[in-house]
Amino acid sequence: MSDACGCGDDEPRAVGEEAEEEHEPERLWEVRELQFAAISGVFLLVALITGWAGGADIVVTVAEWLALLAGAYTFVPSTVKRLVKGKIGVGTLMTIAAVGAVLLGEVGEAAMLAFLFSISEGLEEYSLARTRRGLRALLSLVPDQATVLRDGAEVVVEPGELRVGDLMLVKPGERLATDGVIREGRTALDVSAITGESVPVEAGPGGDVFAGSINGTGVLTVEVTTTAEDNSLARIVKIVEAEQSRKGAAQRLADRIAKPLVPGVMVAAALIAAVGSLLGDPLVWIERALVVLVAASPCALAISVPVTVVAAIGASSKLGVLVKGGAALEALGRVRGVALDKTGTLTANRPAVIDVATTGGASREQVLDVAAALESRSEHPLARAILAAVDKVDPASDVEAVTGAGLTGRYEGRPVRLGRPGWLEAGPLAADVARMQSAGATAVLVEQDGQVIGAIAVRDELRPEAAEVVAQLRRDGYHVAMLTGDNHATATALAKDVGIDAVHAELRPEDKAALVKQLSAQRSTAMVGDGVNDAPALATADLGIAMGAMGTDVAIETADVALMGEDLRHLPQAFTHARRARSIMLQNVGLSLAIVVGLMPLALFGVLGLAAVVLVHEVAEIVVIANGVRAGRAKPLALTPGDRPAPRTQPATVGASS
């Protein structure tokens, strides 16, 4: 990162410490660097207007000095601190150039350098602040308190007071405060925040449960196996924090160029002054050395990348894509591999009935009517899919939930049941149930008068544009893989439908992060996801892309890029736009370096004086700004009403993702 970046410290702050020690800017005008840049710009404007109007020289001089001090404050102090530690960057060269300009009496030029560089620093700090705020959103999944059984009594404690071996009482609808093993009770557990399962999983005695999971309808007694500091969510926070720190310490494009340039220019200037003084007039050669320093100042380089970034990011928003800063834009244009989450990314996160098998003379409508009659009294997520498959619902009576198994009741005066295979015998439908499960669906059996009459397959279907998007990515030369917490059968079936060969299933969040790291070692890889369970992978990847504005806050905040709509076709469009922007960025960098390389020998041999060098720098800045503005051209994705995907039935507040 830049010299002035908040992430420039060697030791990253913990999330909690950061929250207490500083207020993260939420809007552009709250960024300190941009505030000082604005002050610097105002004084520069005063100096220019006063000079054009023929005003007093003292007013111009004072305004230029104030502009210089305001702009330099954003990077000079941190540059000095980094120099003490032996670290250099583009800020180092900017500082040297500003000092050289002042020594030659060009305070206005020095002020302009400081003004431009402070703007680029502010824009980058803003994007970093957004990412840091995302880390704290992870912690909100841990409940404020937990109920434990101690000495035969229920005691309410804070999560931090939980000890390994405690028996934790978890009531229906409550979140688990830490990891553990179920000792008593059965339930349908929503573990989407941790494992990414698209539907609740049945859990009973002996089953593992994880912090942040939501208990269904049963009361659970859970033996605590990890402390709050080392549970599933805590590990996610640690992974994200470590990876964001790693990214924060990485140098941006301009710094990578400045690293060899700075010592080279300093050595060259020193040699010019020393050797020239021995062979000729010391004053002449010292002045030439300072002119060389100014000639080598990365004026155009400092503004070329930020201008391109601002233009490209502004255009990205028109495409329904939120890009968080220049590093993210550069990475988006450099990516050659794409790892896709399943639920909520490739799929719409809206389970639907895809198949109904019948037996014993029952009709499809009869099976669905009985199932809907029972599910009308249920809060189970699969109920919405079954109810949506019928036109009219006649609720059953005497409905009772059998925790972890299904429902019983009476319909049209006859006993009926609905539940999972195993609790109800599939009988003649065993082959159909196996077929449904192999197709990646969840199968439920329906029974009437003690006889099974049908099986219903419910599956979270692919987005209609998913196959088209995967095909487009492959045509564009991207390697595409699917990462999911769902079982292998579901993952393989859906991957085949969408055209993905590389499938990785049954992954925990840390597994996803480790796998993404392996993929990134082969090629620059982007991770696309929408849930809390995707956060470590989003942070570990070379680029994290969050899918959908209705996704979890932590996914949106942790990611470097967010697709704000529900249409996956924005993804390849975002890649194309970023590649073009990166190309323009590299053009500007190349031109900027060419100016520096061309001016240095001309300044060395006295062909160009300080005024000419400054003029060339200003013209170069205009050229790179004009070129950078081209990155703002973007054509929004054309969608007809029929093409537009349906919105989610409800916000994904937990981050149901796989």
Q: Which residues are catalytic?
A: 341
- Say which residue the tokens 């964001």 belong to: 244
Report the relative pairing of strands 153-157 and 208-209 from DSSP bridges.
unpaired
CA distance 60 to 53: 11
Q: Which of 400, 390, 398 is nearest to 363 (CA)?
A: 390
Q: What is the DSSP string of 327-372?
A: HHHHHHHH--EEEEEIIIIIEEEEEEEEEEEE-TT--HHHHHHHHH
CA distance 247 to 251: 8
Q: What is the DSSP string of 237-300?
A: HHHHHHHHHHHHHSPPHHHHHHHHHHHHHHHHHHHHHHHHHHHS-HHHHHHHHHHHHHHTS-HH
Q: In 443-487, which ranges are continuous DSSP H helix?
A: 466-475
Beta carbons within 10 angstroms of residue 334's beta carbon = 15
Residues 6+ away with beta carbon under 8 Å from 314 = 632
CA distance 420 to 442: 9
Q: What is the DSSP string of 85-100?
A: TT---HHHHHHHHHHH
CA distance 450 to 635: 61
Residue 410: phi, psi to the nearest 5? -130, 135
- Say which residue the tokens 């010592």 belong to: 263
Q: What is the DSSP string of 506-551?
A: S--HHHHHHHHHHHHHHS-EEEEE-SGGGHHHHHHSSEEEEE-TTS
| Residue 445 contacts residue 418 (beta carbons within 8 Å) | yes
- Cα of first residue to Cα of last residue in the chain, in angstroms, is 32
Please give the structure tokens belonging to residue 225: 């196996």
Please give the structure tokens belonging to residue 615: 């003029």
- Say which residue the tokens 């590990």 belong to: 235
- Say which residue the tokens 């036109």 belong to: 391
CA distance 629 to 645: 32
Read off the amino acid at residue 550: M
Residues 6+ away with beta carbon under 8 Å from 54 = none
| Residue 127 contacts residue 325 (beta carbons within 8 Å) | yes
